[in-house]
Amino acid sequence: MPLPLSAIPPRLNDNDPANAVCESAETLALLARRRSSKLMHLTEPGPTSAEIDALIELAARVPDHGKIGPWRFVAIEGDARARAGAALAEAIKTDEGVDENRLGFVRDTFLRAPACVMVVSAPQPNKKVPEWEQQLSAGAVCYNLLLAAHALGYAGCWLTEWQAFDQRAAKALGVGESERIAGFLYLGSPSQAATERTRADAKARISRF
Protein backbone atom coordinates (compact mmCIF):
# COMPACT_ATOMS: atom_id res chain seq x y z
CA MET A 1 0.00 0.00 0.00
CA PRO A 2 1.66 3.26 -1.07
CA LEU A 3 2.26 5.87 1.60
CA PRO A 4 0.30 9.11 1.32
CA LEU A 5 2.09 12.04 -0.32
CA SER A 6 1.87 13.82 3.03
CA ALA A 7 4.64 11.41 4.19
CA ILE A 8 7.09 13.37 2.00
CA PRO A 9 8.49 16.41 3.82
CA PRO A 10 7.89 19.71 2.01
CA ARG A 11 10.49 21.02 -0.42
CA LEU A 12 13.23 23.03 1.26
CA ASN A 13 14.02 26.59 0.22
CA ASP A 14 17.57 27.75 -0.49
CA ASN A 15 19.65 27.86 2.70
CA ASP A 16 17.00 26.19 4.88
CA PRO A 17 18.61 23.78 7.38
CA ALA A 18 19.05 20.35 5.77
CA ASN A 19 20.43 17.04 7.09
CA ALA A 20 24.17 16.48 6.80
CA VAL A 21 23.59 13.08 8.36
CA CYS A 22 20.32 11.24 8.54
CA GLU A 23 20.62 8.08 10.62
CA SER A 24 17.86 5.86 9.38
CA ALA A 25 17.55 2.13 9.92
CA GLU A 26 14.67 2.14 7.43
CA THR A 27 16.87 3.62 4.73
CA LEU A 28 19.57 1.05 5.42
CA ALA A 29 16.98 -1.71 5.15
CA LEU A 30 15.71 -0.19 1.89
CA LEU A 31 19.21 -0.21 0.45
CA ALA A 32 19.96 -3.72 1.70
CA ARG A 33 16.70 -5.27 0.53
CA ARG A 34 15.25 -3.34 -2.44
CA ARG A 35 14.89 -5.03 -5.79
CA SER A 36 13.78 -3.95 -9.19
CA SER A 37 10.75 -5.79 -10.49
CA LYS A 38 10.55 -7.45 -13.85
CA LEU A 39 8.54 -5.36 -16.26
CA MET A 40 6.02 -8.17 -16.64
CA HIS A 41 5.45 -8.06 -12.87
CA LEU A 42 4.47 -4.37 -12.80
CA THR A 43 0.75 -4.11 -12.47
CA GLU A 44 -1.96 -1.59 -11.49
CA PRO A 45 -2.15 0.55 -9.52
CA GLY A 46 0.69 2.71 -10.72
CA PRO A 47 1.55 6.09 -9.28
CA THR A 48 -0.89 8.93 -9.96
CA SER A 49 0.27 12.04 -11.81
CA ALA A 50 0.65 13.83 -8.46
CA GLU A 51 2.73 10.95 -7.12
CA ILE A 52 4.90 10.92 -10.23
CA ASP A 53 5.51 14.65 -9.83
CA ALA A 54 6.44 14.11 -6.17
CA LEU A 55 8.80 11.25 -7.07
CA ILE A 56 10.46 13.44 -9.69
CA GLU A 57 10.86 16.24 -7.15
CA LEU A 58 12.68 13.79 -4.85
CA ALA A 59 14.68 12.24 -7.69
CA ALA A 60 15.99 15.63 -8.77
CA ARG A 61 17.66 16.18 -5.38
CA VAL A 62 20.92 14.65 -6.62
CA PRO A 63 24.47 15.90 -6.60
CA ASP A 64 24.61 18.29 -9.55
CA HIS A 65 27.92 20.09 -10.05
CA GLY A 66 27.32 23.73 -10.93
CA LYS A 67 23.57 23.54 -10.16
CA ILE A 68 22.93 22.96 -13.85
CA GLY A 69 20.09 20.46 -13.62
CA PRO A 70 21.39 18.64 -16.70
CA TRP A 71 18.40 16.34 -17.02
CA ARG A 72 14.68 16.46 -17.60
CA PHE A 73 11.77 14.11 -17.15
CA VAL A 74 8.97 13.03 -19.45
CA ALA A 75 6.07 11.28 -17.74
CA ILE A 76 4.42 8.71 -20.00
CA GLU A 77 1.19 7.72 -18.29
CA GLY A 78 -2.45 7.02 -19.08
CA ASP A 79 -3.38 7.46 -22.76
CA ALA A 80 0.03 8.95 -23.51
CA ARG A 81 1.48 5.44 -23.20
CA ALA A 82 -0.30 4.35 -26.39
CA ARG A 83 0.59 7.62 -28.18
CA ALA A 84 4.27 7.30 -27.28
CA GLY A 85 4.31 3.67 -28.41
CA ALA A 86 2.60 4.61 -31.68
CA ALA A 87 5.26 7.27 -32.27
CA LEU A 88 7.98 4.65 -31.76
CA ALA A 89 6.27 2.25 -34.17
CA GLU A 90 5.90 5.01 -36.77
CA ALA A 91 9.65 5.67 -36.50
CA ILE A 92 10.60 2.11 -37.44
CA LYS A 93 7.74 1.00 -39.67
CA THR A 94 9.72 1.14 -42.90
CA ASP A 95 12.71 -0.77 -41.48
CA GLU A 96 13.63 -3.93 -43.33
CA GLY A 97 12.02 -7.01 -41.82
CA VAL A 98 9.61 -5.11 -39.59
CA ASP A 99 6.25 -6.87 -39.69
CA GLU A 100 2.92 -6.21 -38.00
CA ASN A 101 3.95 -8.41 -35.05
CA ARG A 102 6.97 -6.28 -34.35
CA LEU A 103 5.01 -3.06 -34.84
CA GLY A 104 2.37 -4.29 -32.41
CA PHE A 105 5.02 -5.08 -29.84
CA VAL A 106 6.62 -1.67 -30.25
CA ARG A 107 3.24 0.08 -30.05
CA ASP A 108 2.72 -1.61 -26.67
CA THR A 109 6.11 -0.55 -25.30
CA PHE A 110 4.73 1.79 -22.65
CA LEU A 111 1.58 -0.21 -22.01
CA ARG A 112 3.73 -2.88 -20.37
CA ALA A 113 3.57 -0.99 -17.06
CA PRO A 114 1.09 1.39 -15.44
CA ALA A 115 3.44 4.36 -15.81
CA CYS A 116 6.85 5.31 -17.11
CA VAL A 117 9.17 8.25 -16.59
CA MET A 118 11.73 8.87 -19.29
CA VAL A 119 14.83 10.47 -17.82
CA VAL A 120 16.66 12.57 -20.39
CA SER A 121 20.28 13.54 -19.90
CA ALA A 122 20.54 17.13 -21.14
CA PRO A 123 24.10 18.31 -20.59
CA GLN A 124 24.81 22.01 -21.04
CA PRO A 125 28.09 23.37 -22.40
CA ASN A 126 30.02 24.43 -19.30
CA LYS A 127 33.68 25.32 -18.84
CA LYS A 128 33.90 23.91 -15.31
CA VAL A 129 31.59 20.91 -15.43
CA PRO A 130 32.53 18.22 -17.95
CA GLU A 131 29.75 16.52 -19.85
CA TRP A 132 30.67 13.21 -18.16
CA GLU A 133 29.82 14.65 -14.74
CA GLN A 134 26.52 15.92 -16.03
CA GLN A 135 25.71 12.48 -17.45
CA LEU A 136 26.61 10.84 -14.14
CA SER A 137 24.15 13.17 -12.45
CA ALA A 138 21.44 11.89 -14.81
CA GLY A 139 22.29 8.33 -13.77
CA ALA A 140 21.98 9.36 -10.13
CA VAL A 141 18.57 10.83 -10.91
CA CYS A 142 17.41 7.52 -12.38
CA TYR A 143 18.42 5.52 -9.34
CA ASN A 144 17.04 8.16 -6.98
CA LEU A 145 13.70 7.95 -8.76
CA LEU A 146 13.69 4.17 -8.36
CA LEU A 147 14.55 4.43 -4.67
CA ALA A 148 11.92 7.10 -4.10
CA ALA A 149 9.32 4.92 -5.83
CA HIS A 150 10.25 1.94 -3.65
CA ALA A 151 10.06 4.09 -0.51
CA LEU A 152 6.65 5.48 -1.46
CA GLY A 153 5.37 1.95 -2.03
CA TYR A 154 5.72 1.32 -5.76
CA ALA A 155 7.74 -1.25 -7.64
CA GLY A 156 9.82 -0.28 -10.62
CA CYS A 157 12.66 -0.97 -12.97
CA TRP A 158 15.19 1.05 -14.92
CA LEU A 159 15.42 -0.05 -18.53
CA THR A 160 16.94 1.39 -21.65
CA GLU A 161 16.26 -1.13 -24.46
CA TRP A 162 16.70 -0.26 -28.13
CA GLN A 163 14.62 2.89 -27.92
CA ALA A 164 17.23 4.59 -25.72
CA PHE A 165 19.90 4.18 -28.40
CA ASP A 166 17.99 4.81 -31.63
CA GLN A 167 18.08 8.35 -33.07
CA ARG A 168 14.67 7.97 -34.66
CA ALA A 169 13.14 6.72 -31.42
CA ALA A 170 14.69 9.67 -29.58
CA LYS A 171 13.21 12.10 -32.10
CA ALA A 172 9.82 10.39 -31.92
CA LEU A 173 9.85 10.83 -28.14
CA GLY A 174 10.89 14.49 -28.35
CA VAL A 175 14.51 14.00 -27.29
CA GLY A 176 16.85 16.61 -28.78
CA GLU A 177 20.09 15.97 -30.65
CA SER A 178 22.24 17.17 -27.76
CA GLU A 179 20.32 14.99 -25.32
CA ARG A 180 20.41 11.27 -24.49
CA ILE A 181 17.91 8.98 -22.88
CA ALA A 182 19.36 7.90 -19.52
CA GLY A 183 16.57 5.49 -18.85
CA PHE A 184 12.94 4.60 -18.80
CA LEU A 185 11.75 4.14 -15.22
CA TYR A 186 8.74 1.86 -15.38
CA LEU A 187 6.54 2.04 -12.30
CA GLY A 188 3.64 0.08 -10.88
CA SER A 189 2.70 -2.34 -8.14
CA PRO A 190 4.41 -5.72 -7.88
CA SER A 191 2.33 -8.71 -8.97
CA GLN A 192 4.97 -11.06 -7.54
CA ALA A 193 7.27 -11.04 -4.57
CA ALA A 194 10.88 -10.30 -5.40
CA THR A 195 13.85 -12.57 -4.76
CA GLU A 196 17.49 -11.63 -4.57
CA ARG A 197 19.57 -11.75 -7.75
CA THR A 198 23.22 -12.68 -7.95
CA ARG A 199 25.20 -9.62 -6.96
CA ALA A 200 28.64 -8.52 -8.02
CA ASP A 201 31.12 -9.29 -5.27
CA ALA A 202 31.72 -5.79 -3.94
CA LYS A 203 34.48 -6.96 -1.57
CA ALA A 204 36.46 -8.36 -4.50
CA ARG A 205 36.26 -4.95 -6.09
CA ILE A 206 37.69 -3.05 -3.15
CA SER A 207 41.32 -2.05 -3.03
CA ARG A 208 43.10 0.40 -0.82
CA PHE A 209 45.57 2.89 -2.13
60 versus 185: smaller Cβ distance to ligand FMN: 185
Asked if 158 interacts with ligand FMN (CB under 6 A), we say yes
35 versus 112: smaller Cβ distance to ligand FMN: 35
100 versus 196: smaller Cβ distance to ligand FMN: 196
Stretch that binds ligand FMN, among 88-96, 99-107, 121-129, 157-165 (CB under 6 A): 157-165
Rounded (5°) CA angle 139-144-148: 155
Using CB under 6 A, pick the residue from 114, 123, 183, 188 that binds ligand FMN.
183
- CB atoms under 10 Å from CB of 162, counted, come to 11
Residues 32-51, interacting with ligand FMN (CB under 6 A):
35-36
36 versus 134: smaller Cβ distance to ligand FMN: 36
CA distance 84 to 25: 40
CA distance 36 to 38: 7
Cβ distance 169 to 17 under 8 Å? no
Query: Smallest distance from the beta carbon of 162 to ligand FMN, in angstroms?
Result: 8
48 versus 135: smaller Cβ distance to ligand FMN: 135
- 38 residue type, one letter: K
Stretch that binds ligand FMN, among 17-25, 127-135, 154-162, 201-209 (CB under 6 A): 154-162
Using CB under 6 A, pick the residue from 61, 159, 166, 190 that binds ligand FMN.
159
- 13 residue type, one letter: N
Give 51's Cβ-side CA count (13 Å radius): 23
Contacting residues for 38 by C-beta, under 8 A, at least 6 apart: 157, 192
20 versus 204: smaller Cβ distance to ligand FMN: 204
Which contiguous run of DSSP H or E holds residue 74?
strand 71-77
Query: Smallest distance from the beta carbon of 197 to ligand FMN, in angstroms?
Result: 6
What is the number of the residue whose Cβ is closest to ligand FMN? 36
Contacting residues for 111 by C-beta, under 8 A, at least 6 apart: 81, 82, 85
Asked if 123 interacts with ligand FMN (CB under 6 A), we say no
CA distance 123 to 85: 26
Task: Return residues touching ligand FMN (CB under 6 A).
Answer: 35-36, 157-161, 183, 197
